[in-house]
Amino acid sequence: MAVPLAFFGVFFAYPVASIVSRGLKDGGRWQFARAGEVLTDPAIGHVLWFTTWQAAASTALTLALALPGAYVFARFDFPGKRLLRAVVTVPFVLPTVVVGAAFLALLGHGGLLDELWGVRLDTTVWAILLAHVFFNYAVVVRTVGGLWAQLDPRQEEAARVLGAGRLGAWRRVTLPALAPAVAAAALMVFLFTFTSFGVVQILGGPRYATLEVEIYQQTAQLLDLPTAAVLTLVQFAAVAALLAVHARTVRRREATLRLVDAARTARRPRGAAEWTLLGSVLAVVALLVLLPLAVLVLRSFDGPDGYGLAFYRALGSAGAGGGTLVVPPLEAVGNSLAYALAATAIAVVVGGLAAAALTRREGRLVRGFDALLMLPLGTSAVTVGFGFLIALDEPPLDLRTSWILVPLAQALVGVPFVVRTVLPVLRAVDVRLREAAAVLGASPLRAWREVDLPLVGRALAVAAGFAFAVSLGEFGATVFIARPDSPTLPVAVARLVGRPGEFNYGQAMALSTILMLVCAVALLLLERVRTDRTGEF
């Protein structure tokens, strides 16, 4: 508990409080009148309303499309499953500016839909929602699927034997067991889409703005800190309300479950219904996730003289006669991996400890702590970035230009993932197992190692994969953190896209493709890393 608290206190609460209080105490006096002005501004109300409902709609749509996917990934074995599970997580690492371009190519003017049926979805809310599903599909598949794979199918079978129908058995046995994981996934998707920035701007057009955009404007462009501070507090209030609702619904449902080894629950689909389900899930994945990715890959090969490796070759010759990237792309890959590994390590340690503390203790304080851990997901990147700048600016804590600040900022976003993924599994571990171990003379540490770790190992691996992908693609906060000149891949991509000329754009696409590959390979490797497999529970 101490480590996560210290981590969040110093790297989140303190910087954010610094920037907010500087805004509210403009000129040494509290500016409460300003708060009133901002809150009663109809334009702000409009923005808040849009932010909330698009997040709710995105969450609902993501759950509707991804829950069948979670089931298929958890319960069925099919060729290429591992690869596909890594691929659906790839969207996480892509910079929004690139994804925006891919979606425009599909939904925008002259896009695929336009060619086929004359339909244009850009500048509509539909484009925003679909892009949000694209980004968050993996959240549901991984968090819910991870637990689902470990539920003992025999419990449902037992219910069937006792006379329950197929649906009844599912509703009474499986659904209650899954509820916490589903709620956790929904919460994360909601927070992500609630603070959506690039997607809304690029695909929705300038008429749509979220609170995040407004805060960015006020902080980074207008330097109107009082307004930004009030908006940040509004964002906090909304997130806090959401967390309260989430805690209320989940706490009542969490129960001890019988967890088994995931490898034993999956099987090949049987019968027409199951094959149809598998087929339709794969079709959704193909349309929503693979197609936009394919567009980007295609563009990276679509050189000036037809298809070829021209852009990849240009990447290799950085700086010479027209390369605009100062660092060779391989170096950017190295930077990204180094940052992401450091961030993953921090996130797994901090998040793991936090989750352990949350399972052991009860009470109001603990719930508050749980909520605190989720706040970074619902806080705008610019607030955190600027907070770092004014809070961590004096020795011994002058980390502003230290490389460690980047993984720290990325870990802030990674920790909630780790907590939300590990917690449902940890809470489902039967406490009697631990007690039995203790009775047999195991120390608490030993009991944890022998009982919890094997059961949680898988969830930890899933969580680490997430934290890794989040860090690899994290762009929002990283961009504001001044750092030695070692750009990460997403930053390099954004720089290239921001310059005119076919070669810059092509190189951006090529780098994005490399980024996807790096992410997919890293995730596949992570899937292979497992803790000690006891196999028998």
Partner 1 sequence: MNTNLRRALSAALVTALGAGGLAACGGGDGSGGDGDKTVTLVSHDSFVASDEVLAEFTKETGYKVKVVKGGDAGAAVNQAILSKNHPQGDVFFGVDNTLLSRALDKGLFASYEAKGLDRVPGALQLDSSRHRVTPVDYGDICVNYDRAYFADKKLAPPQSFADLVKPEYKNLLVTENVKTSSPGLAFQLGTIAAFGEDGWQDYWKKLKGNGVEVVDGWEQAYNSRFSGSATGRKAKGDKPLVVSYASSPPAEVMGAEPAPEEAPTGVATGTCFRQIEFAGLLSGAKNTEGGKALIDFLVGKKFQEDMPLQMFVNPANQDARLPELFTRYGVKVEKPATLDKERIAEHRDEWIKTWSSLVLK
Is the CB of 35 or the CB of 105 nearer to partner 1? 105
CB 143 within 8 A of CB 421: yes
User: Around Cβ 369, how many Cβ atoms within 10 Å?
Assistant: 18
Is the CB of 205 or the CB of 316 nearer to partner 1? 205
Q: Which window, 162-170, 440-448, 474-482, 517-525, contacts partner 1 (CB under 8 A)?
A: 474-482
Q: Within the chain, what is the greatest distance between any pair of CA atoms?
A: 76
Q: Is 314 in the site for partner 1 (CB under 8 A)?
A: yes
How far apart are CB 460 and partner 1 at their closest, in Å?
20
Instruction: Return d(Cα 457, Cα 502) in angstroms, integer.
Output: 46
Q: Is 395 in the site for partner 1 (CB under 8 A)?
A: yes
Whole-angstrom Cα Rg for the chain: 24
- Taking CA atoms, 169 is separated from 165, 176, 183, 428, in Å, by 6, 11, 20, 20
- Taking CA atoms, 457 is separated from 138, 140, 528, in Å, by 19, 19, 12
Q: Is 503 in the site for partner 1 (CB under 8 A)?
A: yes
- Which residues lie below 8 Å from residue 300, measured CB to CB, with a gap of 6+? 311, 312, 506, 509, 510, 512, 513
How far apart are CB 450 and partner 1 at their closest, in Å?
26
Question: If DSSP states are collapsed to H, E and C, what string results for 338-362?
Answer: HHHHHHHHHHHHHHHHHHHHHHHCC
Q: Where is 306: in which H helix or E strand?
A: strand 306-307
Among 175, 244, 397, 440, binds partner 1 (CB under 8 A): 397
Number of chain positions touching partner 1 (CB under 8 A): 77
Is the CB of 47 or the CB of 65 nearer to partner 1? 47
User: Which residues in 101-140 contact partner 1 (CB under 8 A)?
Assistant: 101, 104-105, 108-111
Instruction: Return d(Cα 377, Cα 477) in angstroms, integer.
Output: 12
Among 479, 510, 520, 523, binds partner 1 (CB under 8 A): 479
Side chain identity, residue 160: R
User: Which residues in 69-98 contact partner 1 (CB under 8 A)?
Assistant: 97
Identify the CA nearest to 388 among candidates 491, 480, 297, 514: 480
Q: Is 222 in the site for partner 1 (CB under 8 A)?
A: yes
Q: Is 482 in the site for partner 1 (CB under 8 A)?
A: yes
Among 100, 145, 146, 352, binds partner 1 (CB under 8 A): 100
Among 77, 157, 502, 532, binds partner 1 (CB under 8 A): 502
User: Which residues in 192-221 contact partner 1 (CB under 8 A)?
Assistant: 201-202, 205-207, 213, 217, 219-221
Is the CB of 14 or the CB of 448 nearer to partner 1? 14
How far apart are CB 278 and partner 1 at their closest, in Å?
35
Whether the ω angle into residue 500 lies within 30 degrees of 0, i.e. cis, is no
User: Which residues in 504-523 contact partner 1 (CB under 8 A)?
Assistant: 504-506
Instruction: Return d(Cα 12, Cα 380) in angstroms, integer.
Output: 12
**Per-residue contact flags (x/-) with partner 1 for residues 319 to 358, judged by CB under 8 A:** x--x-x-x--------------------------------
